[in-house]
Amino acid sequence: MLFEPAIFWTIFTAVAITAILVALTIYYVIKGTTEKPISGREAIEGEIGVARTDLDPEGRVLVHGEWWNARANETIPEGTKIKVVAVENMRVRVERAPEEK
């Protein structure tokens, strides 16, 4: 026999643990690059919020639990659901949110 059983199982265990750690690392790297961001500019674009003041054309909105200065291309009354179109510096550009059916 080339290897004693104790040496074989020690080497086998070390290789198996290393393979599992490499596989988990690859999994979490891929998962981290495909998830939607939860903060910053990328996270807020496309989100639905509520106009907290009249937007004519500027006002304040509540989106993602945060207050934002907002600008709209139309008059939007307070309490209306809005959708964030873009983030420009510290202001969001919004439009009326589509009606849910």
Per-residue pLDDT, 25: 96
* Amino acid, res. 89: N
Per-residue pLDDT, 37: 66
For 41-96, which CATH class?
mainly beta
Per-residue pLDDT, 33: 83
CA torsion sign for 24, 28, 29, 30 is positive
Per-residue pLDDT, 101: 59
Residues facing 19 on adjacent strands: none
In the chain, % of residues over pLDDT 70? 91
Cα–Cα distance for residue pair 45/99, rounded to 1 Å: 18
CA torsion sign for 34, 39, 45, 51 is positive
Helix locations, the chain, DSSP H: 5-34, 41-44
Per-residue pLDDT, 2: 67
